[in-house]
């Protein structure tokens, strides 16, 4: 009688497939490497096909492994869905949600969003961490958090990606730079800027660097800061500027201490994406959190439109500030 596949074997297979390494998969599943290897070998014996090609360079899935991965993910999600539906029957939304958010959302949206959510769902416990997109993707992959909201989703076979909302980057400066409030700007029209940028760990760094290298953006001086709040407070009190997603300053649009200008050329998209592991079905509590956060992110465009409408046309007329 042919032995049946087990859920453990499927989990270990998926971990190896997504990690590309026995050692990383064992660490992810919190088990020994020999034990994990044995379970994957048993799975291959039951299926009758090798799932991976093993070499000194590492492990790569075979054609059969790639095909079986889709089935394994579907089976694991179906099992989780059945368990979750039975657990949730007749119960209020409850449970732990481990979520990672980029600093722009933490500063711009979280202070208004989170109090209302925790009041509405008293049985949902939140563990929230803040980091840039690349780090959050690593934490999701390592099972340190359940989900994350990022600007640039990773190209990872095991990662589920869901777009939450469209957004764009803005130029942020203090009163000293004398930019007209909310007026669209072309980076090439600006005089050389003293610019504060995030480190290469932030997805925006590459976009800004590309604008500098192509001549679209000229800089007089450049410094790196890895704190969104610090960047904004620094430019508020100086003649420096920075470029960040609109969400970071949505609460500051009416401030007379900051100037916020949408960048129209080159346009820099900072769309928001939800990421989580494909094999992991989000809990009812997690989906509830995501739905509420998505609704909040979608209000940003309405807040922006209202802010633009409130500023007289003459006050936000674009000025060319490029020095000849």
Q: Is the pLDDT of residue 129 over 90?
A: yes
Question: Sign (positive/negative) of CA torsion 82, 84, 87, 89?
Answer: negative
Give the pLDDT score at 62. 93
Model pTM above 0.95: no
Residue 193 lies in a domain: yes
Residue 314 lies in a domain: no
Give the pLDDT score at 256. 83
Question: Sign (positive/negative) of CA torsion 96, 157, 209, 245?
Answer: negative
Q: Which of 70, 88, 106 is at the close of a domain? A: 88
Share of the chain above pLDDT 90, in %: 45
Residue 311 lies in a domain: no
Residue 277 lies in a domain: yes
Q: Note whether 24 and 154 are same-domain residues.
A: no
Residue 29 belongs to a domain with what CATH number?
1.10.10.10
Q: Note whether 196 and 248 are same-domain residues.
A: yes
Q: Note whether 226 and 298 are same-domain residues.
A: no
Mean pLDDT of the chain: 87
Q: Note whether 154 and 296 are same-domain residues.
A: yes
Phi and psi, residue 110, nearest 5°: -60, -40
| Total domains in the fold of the chain | 3
Q: Note whether 276 and 265 are same-domain residues.
A: no
Q: Note whether 69 and 206 are same-domain residues.
A: no
Q: Note whether 240 and 108 are same-domain residues.
A: no
Residue 136 belongs to a domain with what CATH number?
3.40.190.10
Kind of pairing between the strands at 241-245 and 258-265: unpaired
Q: Please state which of the ranges 42-46, 83-87, 190-194, 277-281 shows the lowest mean pLDDT.
A: 83-87
Q: Which of 56, 88, 120 is at the close of a domain? A: 88
Q: Note whether 149 and 102 are same-domain residues.
A: yes
Residue 131 lies in a domain: yes
Residue 318 lies in a domain: no
Q: Note whether 173 and 263 are same-domain residues.
A: yes
Q: Is the pLDDT of residue 1 over 80?
A: no
Q: Note whether 276 and 157 are same-domain residues.
A: yes
Residue 175 belongs to a domain with what CATH number?
3.40.190.290
Q: Note whether 235 and 160 are same-domain residues.
A: no
**Other C-beta atoms lying within 10 Å of the C-beta of residue 251:** 14
Q: Note whether 193 and 156 are same-domain residues.
A: no
Give the pLDDT score at 313. 55
Mean pLDDT of 260-267: 88
Q: Which of 41, 73, 88 is at the close of a domain? A: 88
Residue 317 lies in a domain: no
Q: Is the pLDDT of residue 156 over 80?
A: no
Give the pLDDT score at 198. 86
Q: pLDDT class for 90, splitting at 50, 70, 90?
A: low
Range of the domain at 83: 7-88
Secondary structure of the chain as H, E, C letters: CCCCCCHHHHHHHHHHHHHCCHHHHHHHHCCCHHHHHHHHHHHHHHHCCCCEEEECCEEEECHHHHHHHHHHHHHHHHHHHHHHHHHHCCCCCCEEEEEEECHHHHHHCHHHHHHHHHHHCCCEEEEEEECCHHHHHHHHHCCCCCEEEECCCCCCCCEEEEEEECCEEEEEEEHHHCCCCCCCEEHHHCCCEEEEECCCCCHHHHHHHHHHHCCCCCEEEEEECCCHHHHHHHHHCCCCEEEEEHHHHHHHCCCCCEEEEEEEECECECCEEEEEECCCCCCHHHHHHHHHHHHHHHHHHHHHHHHHHHCCCCCCCCCCCCCC
Residue 278 lies in a domain: yes
Distance from C-alpha of 260 to C-alpha of 184, rounded to nearest angstrom: 9
């Amino acid at each position: 009688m042919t032995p049946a596949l087990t859920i453990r074997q499927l989990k270990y297979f998926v971990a190896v497939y997504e990690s590309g390494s026995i050692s990383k998969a064992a660490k992810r599943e919190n088990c020994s490497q020999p034990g994990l290897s044995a379970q994957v070998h048993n799975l291959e014996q039951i299926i009758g096909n090798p799932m991976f090609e093993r070499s000194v360079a590492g492990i790569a899935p075979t054609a059969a492994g790639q095909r079986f991965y889709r089935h394994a993910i579907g089976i694991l999600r179906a099992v989780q869905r059945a368990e979750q539906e039975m657990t949730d029957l007749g119960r209020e939304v409850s449970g732990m949600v481990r979520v990672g958010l980029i600093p722009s959302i933490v500063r711009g949206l979280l202070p208004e969003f989170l109090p209302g959510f925790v009041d509405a769902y008293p049985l949902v416990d939140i563990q929230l961490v803040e980091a840039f997109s690349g780090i959050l993707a690593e934490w999701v992959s390592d099972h340190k958090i359940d989900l994350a909201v990022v600007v640039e989703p990773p190209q990872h076979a095991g990662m589920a990606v869901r777009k939450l909302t469209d957004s764009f980057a803005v130029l942020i400066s203090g009163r000293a730079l004398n930019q007209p409030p909310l007026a669209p700007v072309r980076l090439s029209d600006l005089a050389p800027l003293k610019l504060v940028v995030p480190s290469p760990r932030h997805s925006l760094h590459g976009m800004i660097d590309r604008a500098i290298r192509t001549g679209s953006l000229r800089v007089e001086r450049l410094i790196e800061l890895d704190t969104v709040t610090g960047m904004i407070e620094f430019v508020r009190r100086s003649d420096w500027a920075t470029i960040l997603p609109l969400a970071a300053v949505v609460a500051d649009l009416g401030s007379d201490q900051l100037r916020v200008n949408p960048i129209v050329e080159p346009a820099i998209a900072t769309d928001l994406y939800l990421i989580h592991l494909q094999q992991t079905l989000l809990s009812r509590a997690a989906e509830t959190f995501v739905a509420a956060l998505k609704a909040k992110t979608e209000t940003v465009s309405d807040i922006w439109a209202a802010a633009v409408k409130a500023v007289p046309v003459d006050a936000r007329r674009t000025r060319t500030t490029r020095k000849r």
